[in-house]
């Protein structure tokens, strides 16, 4: 079974995320055994950010890494697990609120594809980039 990174690299909808993970130096970490739960913004989600935001973040790897680790939780949590939990702690350290009342929402994003199994965890695809605070 492919790793989280393998799935992202092989899916053309994640080219911005893949470039960001590479720029932040997180590829090796996300290829480790984990398991991880990744809330993966697709290219359309990154495109919603103000113009120049992605480029600015790529030029600031520590800040980029902080934002990306806010999209990852330690452990493998399905949609059903997360909805029951109501929140999960990110690798960045801040909690990520989960809402399952109307669909499946993670902070300010809607999950557009849930429970994508990987060798080292699970991916939930988001329609927005989520930010701390």
> What are the structural domains of the chain?
4-126 (2.30.180.10)
Q: Identify the CA nearest to 72 among candidates 23, 16, 126.
A: 126
pLDDT in tens, the chain (133 residues): 999 999 999 999 999 999 999 999 999 999 999 999 999 999 999 999 999 999 999 999 999 999 999 999 999 999 999 999 999 999 999 999 999 998 999 999 999 999 999 999 999 999 999 998 8
Q: What is the pLDDT of residue 5?
A: 96
């Amino acid at each position: 079974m492919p790793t989280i990174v393998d799935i992202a690299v092989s899916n053309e909808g994640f080219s911005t995320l893949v470039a960001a993970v590479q720029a932040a130096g997180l590829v090796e970490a996300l290829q480790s055994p984990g398991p991880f739960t990744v809330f993966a913004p697709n290219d359309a989600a990154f495109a919603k950010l103000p113009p120049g935001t992605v480029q600015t973040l790529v030029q600031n790897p520590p800040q980029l890494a902080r934002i990306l680790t806010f999209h990852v939780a330690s452990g493998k949590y399905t949609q059903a697990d997360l909805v029951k939990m109501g929140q999960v702690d990110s690798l960045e350290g801040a909690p990520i609120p989960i809402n399952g009342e109307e669909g499946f929402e993670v902070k300010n994003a809607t999950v557009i594809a849930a429970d994508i199994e990987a060798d080292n965890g699970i991916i939930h695809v988001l329609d927005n980039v989520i930010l701390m605070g």
